Amino acid sequence: MRRESRGTLVIDVERCKGCELCIPACPPKVLSMSTISNHHGYLYPELSPGCTGCTACQQVCPDYVFEVYRYQTPVMAVVDTEAA
């Protein structure tokens, strides 16, 4: 399956405290919590293809872990539906 991404995120995983506020705030539902902990022992969000660059995650995050970037031209990504 192919999915269009209009933006992307840089996530500062070491700054994240795992509050999970970003997960339900994400309109395209492309954030999920990792199964790996950061250096401080917290799980952190991971990005899947389909980000729109809307900044909802950035706006809700109390620890400022997100840098949001928008593409001028959308990028198509292949999504492995069996792994999900």
Structure confidence by residue, pLDDT tens digits, 55-84: 999 999 999 999 999 999 988 877 766 654
Based on its alpha-carbon atoms, the radius of gyration of the chain, rounded to whole angstroms, reads: 13
Structure confidence by residue, pLDDT tens digits, 3-55: 889 999 999 999 999 999 999 999 999 999 999 999 999 999 999 999 999 99
Residues whose CB is less than 8 angstroms from the CB of residue 5 and which lie 6 or more positions away in sequence, other chains included: 49, 50, 51, 52, 71, 74, 75, 76, 77
Which pTM does this prediction carry?
0.85
**Could you tell me the pLDDT band of residue 2, with boundaries at 50, 70 and 90?**
confident
CATH of segment(s) 2-77: 3.30.70.20
